[in-house]
Each structure stands twice: as C-alpha cells, then as structure tokens.
Structure 1
Amino acid sequence: MEDPTERGPEAAPTRVTRLDFDIEWPPKHAAAYLLEEPALTLIDTGDPEAPAEATIREELAAKGYDPTDVEAVIVTHPHSDHIGQVPLLREAGATVYAPRPVLEQLEREPADLAAGVRQIGRSAGYHGEAIDREVERATSSLERNRRLLAPEETVPFEFGEPFVVAGREFEAVHTPGHQIHHASLVTDLNGERALFSGDALIEPFRPGAIHVGLDFGAYEAVDAFHAAMDRLEGRVVDRVLPGHGPVFTEYERAIDTTRSSLEELTGETFEAVAAVGPATPIEITRNRTGEVRHPAQLLDTLGALGTLEARDRIEYEDRDGVRYYSVRKASP
C-alpha cells in the first residue's frame, strides 16, 4: 500500500510503502514502513510468523526488490510484532539499528527478570501457579526477543541525538509508557516533518501502558506515558506514520486524545478502588473491565494505581507482599 506523501513535482519524492501484517492479539494488525530513498530502509518488521515474512517478500517483489536490497532496518521498540522479521533482513545483509537501552535490556539476566515478575505479580494479587505462569511468559519473551533482535549484532542509537541511517537523518524521541525504551523517529520526508511513532502515538486508540510488563516499574507506566506526550508536544510534525491504525495528520489532537484516555483510565481506576477497596490490583481490574482477557488490562491498572498514589488519592496496605488499595483518608 503506497502512502500518499508526495509533495509536488519540483523534487523527486521519497517513495514510502506501508506494509500491513495480521496479528493474533488486539489490535489484530501491525504496520511497518519501507523508505526507498536515499537507500532502502525498513522501519519495524512485523511479527515472527510465516505470513509476515511472505508479506515482506511480496511487497519488496512488487517494487522489483528482494530482501538483499534492504540496506537498513530501524526498530522503534522490542515487541514481537515489530521485530519479528529482523532475522530475515539481517541474514539478507541489512544493518539493524535500535535504541541503546533496548539492547541493554535484552542482555538482562533471566533470574533478575523472574525476581521482578514474582515481586510485582504478588503485589498485584497473583499467587502460586499463576505467578509461575507469568514468570515463564516473561522469561520466554526475553529469550525470544533476544534471539530476534540479537543485541550483539545491532547498532545502537541514542535518544535525543540525530543519527544517520542509510543516508537519512533521524531524531529518536524517547516515548515510554507503552514500552519503557520506545523510540519515535522524526525525519524530513517530501517537504514534511514526519514522525514514525511506533506504538507511542496512534490516532484511533491509546495503546496499552505495557511499559515494562509485570516487572519492577510497572506502577510507573501511566506517568511514563504522560512524559512521552510531554516530549512529543510542541514539535512540528506534519504527518504521523504509526505502528497500528492509519497514517494521520492531526498530530496535536492525537496527543490530546492520548492524554484524555490516560486520564479516563486513571478516573476509572479510582472509581474501582472506591467501589471495591481495600482490594488487590487484580480485583480492581476486574471491577474496571469485567473479565480480564489480556495482560494489558492489568498493566493499565497497575500504571493508573501508581499515578493515583503519586497524586495522594489512594493508598495501599502491604499484606505479605500483596497490595490492598483503598481511597486515601482525608487528613484530620
């Protein structure tokens, strides 16, 4: 699918092609972007499944290319629906770039991750086999992402500093909340200032405040998402090319909508605490959402609880490592 970014006949436009991938979990699709000038560069790569590889091969072939023609791959964040086909392109000869903290995160010891999952999982109300399942999920994801992105074979870039990939200059804006080391990439594109926003800024919905997952820092997710919006606000951006949802131009409105969604989440969480507290984060999530079908629902709650606590609206009692939240009592 061609993205209509061409601006007039006076200069040869950079051709940009959006690649769409079907995925199994909400929002059921992901996107990557192929820039053809000054050299073939792919921003994100879809998921690890065979249909995603077929999509990349077919889209390249439709333009007269194959994977060996891709000079560079830039990763916005290390979720599997964005780094899944990195091995295909690396093996074909592409140089892969990712934020330096992402590569450092992938070198983490699994035992340290397991300790974080156990502590935060218990604080949320998990126990026994449920915690064991979450540890297995997290450590398996770490091993998978380390295999896909291969930090020792990836070129790091820094947040807040211009960097050049395949002849094109980008700036990486640190936009945490959805993922703690997420990069949104700003570049000039056909006379416009374009933002490849990954999962940090999407027009039709707010991505989950996944941040670190069920790990140390989970309760900071919503505040981190607000910090990301602070970093994006006020920039000159003409067009946003996101990792989900359509390309859009209403940049400031999308920031405002994201902030409103975060405040709505925080308000819903406060109402749930007031309704069922003292209660664990899992119980609060069930009150807020009904059946908990996706991990992101609990992670949203954890982030909102952290924000509410920082605003002195709620408090919790620690009972053998489990947090029981209630509305903060007014000072006498």
Structure 2
Amino acid sequence: MEEQSERGATEETAVSRIDFDIEWPPKHAAAYLVEEPTPILIDTGDPEDRAETTIREGLTARGYDLEDIAAVIVTHPHSDHIGQVPLLREAGATVHAPRPVLEQLEREPADLAAGIREIGRSAGYRGEAIERETERATSSLERNRRLLAPEEAVPFEFGDPFTVAGRAFDPIHTPGHQVHHAGLATDLDGERVLFSGDALIEPFRPGAINVGLDYGAYDAVDDFHRAMDRLEGRAVDRVFPGHGPVFTDYDGTIESTRSALESLTAETLEAVSSVGPATPLEITRHRTGEVRHPAQLLDTLGALGTLEGRDRIEYEVRDGARYYSFRKASP
C-alpha cells in the first residue's frame, strides 16, 4: 500500500491517494481522499480482504477513521473501484454513482446472458466457451450489485453539476473503458482538477472494455473517441487517475490516448488483411498471440466496429459468427 498527497497552489485542501494491490494488470488501483471538514472518497479499491486493510491504514495515516468519510463517489462499476463501497456505506458514508450505472445494475441476468451468447457467437466462441463467458458476466453482475447496491446509492446525471459534502463536481460522460464511466471535474485551491477514473491514464491506454462481451461491444473504440471529444478543450491543471501516476499533461494524454486507439485500429486492419475472412477471435490471436485477458478480444471488437463504420471492412455471418474481410469495392 502506497499513500501520498497532492496539494493545490494554496495547500488548503489535500488530496491523498491510496493504492490497492490487485491481481490483474496494471496490478494496482487508486482511490482518492479529498481532505476537507467533511471528507470525500473517490472510488474505493477492490473487494479483497487486503483492500479493507489498505483503506483503513490509508485513512489512519491521514488522521481519519472510516466513520469520518462523509461521501463516496464512484467513477465506474468495475470491482477494483467499488470493492469497498459496502465497508464505507456501513460506516455511514453516502454513496453517489452515475444514474445509468445504477440502472445497469438492475438488469435482468437473463437479458445479459442473451447478449453474451449473441455477441460471443459473433466473436467466434462456441459451446462451453460461450457458457463460460456467460457465467463470468452474470456472476460479475451479481457481485457488483452486492457491492454497489442501486437502492442504497444517490444517482447523479452526466452533464448536470452536483454537490457532495459542500463540493461541486461536474460529471463528464467518458465511455469506452466502461459505457457509463464518469470523469469528475472540480475546482481545488485555484486548480481545475479531474478525477479521471480509468478514462484517462498517462502511461497507457485503458482497455476498451465498455460493455464487456455484450450488446454494444463493437462500439467500444468509437465510444472511447467520444470520451476524448468530451474531455478535449477543457482547462484542466491536474489529473487524478484510477491507475498510473497523478499527472499534469492533460492535453498530451488525450492526444496519446487517441493515438493509441488509432494504433489499435491499424493493427486490427492489418490482422484482417493477413488472416481474413476471419472471426474476431482469430483476428485477436493474430494481433496479440495467445488471448490471455478478455480485454484483448474486447479491444478487437471495438476496433472492428470502428473499421466497419469507416467502410474499411465488412463481414458475413456463418452460424452466428462474423467473418471479417476488406470491404469489396463498389462496381
């Protein structure tokens, strides 16, 4: 566990960072404590027992107890960001989350399973592999519903500023990594800061996970570009991300994220050229080698959707699977 502080120009309000060790890349996740008379926590780490120890020790190091936290604000409903929400809620914190996130958590498992099976088949999965992905997704929905109980959270709307514990936040809809992801902008001691969650990270581009292997998976890269469109042109002095270091090169990180998305799209087009007609799963294997993480396939699905929208590729469906190749020239 690593804990550090960032202060604004007048050093009146500190933002303390609490790092959680997680098992999957990038091996850590960050939460942020806005240290005011009524402290606010942005995200909460993962659900593991060690994360509870981490958050307790991180607060103690800054002179706080769990009961001192007035509010928790969630950027997006991935387990490494909502894992300790129940702990904070039971200690008395009010939990705030984007309204579409809370609505998503109310989804019927059967509807989710139908989406997984249809998109899984389109990607090239068959038989047991589809059932494995369906079980993984429905289990994740049930887990996240327990962690971020919709009926016990206060919703906020994208584009509609809201106030928590006396502090005003501007919630920016930043999909791509997660379809209902929120960036949280606020003024902090003379600086405009952004709690970017997993939408904007300086050292690397977050995976285009968006909806997972579900309806809308092929929109992930286009959605990520839309997130960059919404962030671009804003005056932001400092960014507090969900992974990687705190950074100040806001415009440069938007540019590098766009460049990484275009690189992914170009790599996917090259893979279609080399192995097409091919399923998304075959294209992913050509692009990355062994598929070790779901994000590798999801990146491919998003890039294929973007390439199709740019009229660079087309597909035919065989037994539910999409087989992609270069778009044929019109006669």
**TM-score band w.r.t. shorter chain:** over 0.9
Once superposed, which parts of structure 1, at least 4 consecutive aligned residues long, lie more than 4 Å away?
none
Unaligned runs of 5+ in 1: none
Structure 2 residue aligned with 1:287: 286
**How far apart are the structure 2 equivalents of 1:91 and 1:224?**
35
**Contact 2:8–2:191, Cα closer than 8 Å, also in 1:** no
Deviation at 1:6, TM superposition (A): 3.2
TM-score, scaled to structure 1: 0.98
Structure 1 residue aligned with 2:209: 210
Deviation at 1:320, TM superposition (A): 1.7
| SS of residue in 1 equivalent to 2:269 | helix
Alignment of 1:172 with 2:174, yes or no, is no
TM-score, scaled to structure 2: 0.98
| SS of residue in 1 equivalent to 2:192 | strand
Question: 1:50-76: per-residue Cα shift (whole Å, max 9, x none)?
Answer: 111101101111222211111000000
**How far apart are the structure 1 equivalents of 2:128 and 2:216?**
23
Identity of aligned residues (%): 79
Alignment of 1:4 with 2:3, yes or no, is no
Question: 1:199-247: per-residue Cα shift (whole Å, max 9, x none)?
Answer: 0000000000000000000000000000000000000100000000000
Alignment of 1:54 with 2:50, yes or no, is no
Structure 1 residue aligned with 2:93: 94
**Contact 1:220–1:303, Cα closer than 8 Å, also in 2:** yes
Deviation at 1:39, TM superposition (A): 1.2
The residue type equivalent to 2:327 in the other structure is R
What is the aligned-residue RMSD (CA, Å)?
0.8
Matches within 5 A, 1:1-332: 1-8=3-10, 13-332=12-331
Question: 1:140-164: per-residue Cα shift (whole Å, max 9, x none)?
Answer: 0000000000000000000001100
Deviation at 1:38, TM superposition (A): 4.1
**How far apart are the structure 2 equivalents of 1:28 and 1:60?**
21
**Contact 1:38–1:167, Cα closer than 8 Å, also in 2:** no
| SS of residue in 1 equivalent to 2:247 | coil
Deviation at 1:49, TM superposition (A): 0.4
**How far apart are the structure 2 equivalents of 1:35 and 1:132?**
43
Count of residue pairs the alignment pairs up:
329
**Contact 1:175–1:200, Cα closer than 8 Å, also in 2:** yes
**How far apart are the structure 1 equivalents of 2:44 and 2:252?**
27
Question: 1:117-149: per-residue Cα shift (whole Å, max 9, x none)?
Answer: 000000000010000000000000000000000
| SS of residue in 1 equivalent to 2:4 | coil
Greater CA drift, 55-64 or 321-330: 55-64
The residue type equivalent to 1:256 in the other structure is E
